[in-house]
A and B are shown apart, each in its own frame.
Chain A
């Protein structure tokens, strides 16, 4: 059929089964919005800032496992969205982000709201396109969805000049993609997998190092199977929370800068690291030369460039982690769980020696308590997002995650302001679950305008603001490493968060005691509208334990024993 470029966008989204688009209109994308007005195949959610549209699409993608879609205009619309693109790129989240561009005839003339969008997005997307002919649009959009979701997932940006959205061309989406230069390697090399299994059977102290790639690959339940059948203990990265259930006996905990003592010690003592969909990030490894120093490394990843990038892999396996783990399950009978009895006990002793915990305070609520408490009250019924900072690490440490895709957070880029819009996307994808966003008094203000979106679109996100009147994580570093010079981190001057939420039509609670918190959470869940629950927490609480940046995992700063202050 002969239709306009703008209609092609709508038709392509329909063919891809898109049911939700997050976006913000503007001059260069108006032709497309005119078609959005006329269509009924998807819901458009108008965010109040383009950055939030992309974060919401990320939350949607993470929760649903589908490709998230965001739509924005040229110039400032696009530049506002760049943080979202970069965030999705770092955390391998599949997105298609469509932006308007000035008409072809004006490109390069410094026209109104013109910016070289593909030039900017090149370094923070998996791929991008500037569409110069509407005849290319069906193929480009189809490629965009395919590239975003396949291989190591990531954001794909499609920039469409205004005249191209008006151009009428033939639309046929039933085309076969021929991407001869892009063929993700899905199946792992059988010989390498066999060798890896042999190494696992031979090892005395093997350790699974589980990463977020497992969740992207929908392989969590296969991995659970493999862990249980081999009896090999496991540590999770922050991004992998929920791969194993929190109460799994073989889960030691989260590793890394704010990982548990036991996890980091296990990583330091292991003789074989089995990395599945993890990328040896600096926040995980600490000092590289001391990381798992005496261990061999099996590394399964779909991205060849992630293998031996930072830590040399003795058994590199390029492939989809689900595929590889299934192959491993076929071979793993040679691995005898009893063999690791002593090792498991050893690891449990680490946990008993320095368990992950915190000290209660009689005067003020401790932030960790809040997270644990939400876990007790809502547990599996809640989907969790976070912003970035101390509250984020405490969530990784203390929330009892039970399933993959329960948790969405900005891991790689560390984007403050991510949590609230992402939680809206999560809620749009999973309306049956309560959507909780743990945030701080710093982060929440970075996309606070989304109160309006959430109220309008009835996306009842419960934002739990752990208010310590500080930019807490930076304050913690200043306390520990900058001789307590708290430069520009004191957030004593603050809005009235209760009134702020109410001003947009949400509900607000200010909470000082545990009883008040329980009541507020219960009320917010029942009322089912957008909520701010501001919890006044202990101001100087630090995230512990901690591996100082560049330090070795086995050299942690630990929680001071109670009463030793």
Chain B
């Protein structure tokens, strides 16, 4: 990634069939492209699934990625996005001993809340732009999070 590598979001509509996901990921690994995150779920009331892939590379590499993806037989469409709404979710587990009010306030600032309180831990959820989720995860470091899970980004063109 020497020449001006930048973060890009690519959406791929594929026929929902066996091994279609490995066709996509094999293509990325086989041709040396990056996958920062990948989400996939069926599109309601259709035989298709939608993948959202966050990747990085120069303009030439991104162009190759979209073309190579399109060459795969079960791929219906490839969108390389510029103007998009993008969201990501994160779940974080905190010890019950941490300040719940503080955590809740922080979560609310990032479109989230506390979603579960157990005997030993609480679980908080946020859903926001990937960069803001990043910021949130930095901010909650001092509350000693025990486990963090991120969903990867999903995106829609404006």
Contact = CB atoms under 8 A, between A and B. Distances in A.
B67 A305 contact: yes
B23 interface: yes
Nearest to A307: B67
Nearest to A304: B67
A180 interface: yes
Interface in A300-338: 303-305, 308-309
Nearest to A306: B67
Contacts of A305: 64, 67-68, 70-71
Contacts of B22: 119, 122
Interface stretch (B73-81, B83-91, B124-132): B73-81
B60 interface: yes
Contact of A122 (B14, B23, B64, B76): B23
A122 B71 contact: no
A181 B74 contact: yes
A181 B19 contact: no
B60 A308 contact: yes
A308 B67 CA distance: 11
Contacts, number: 37
Range class of the A interface residue count: 10 to 19
B89 to A, nearest CB: 29
A308 B65 CA distance: 12
A304 B70 contact: yes
B23 A181 contact: no
A119 B29 CA distance: 14
B41 interface: no
B18 interface: yes
A535 to B, nearest CB: 41
B6 interface: no
Interface of A: 118-119, 122-123, 126-127, 130, 132, 147, 179-182, 303-305, 308-309
26 contacts: A118-B19, A119-B19, A119-B22, A122-B22, A122-B23, A122-B26, A123-B30, A130-B18, A130-B19, A132-B18, A147-B73, A179-B73, A181-B14, A181-B15, A181-B74, A181-B76, A182-B73, A303-B71, A304-B67, A304-B70, A304-B71, A305-B67, A305-B71, A308-B60, A309-B64, A309-B67
8 residue pairs, one from A and one from B, having the closest CB atoms: A305-B67, A127-B73, A181-B76, A123-B30, A182-B73, A304-B67, A305-B68, A122-B26
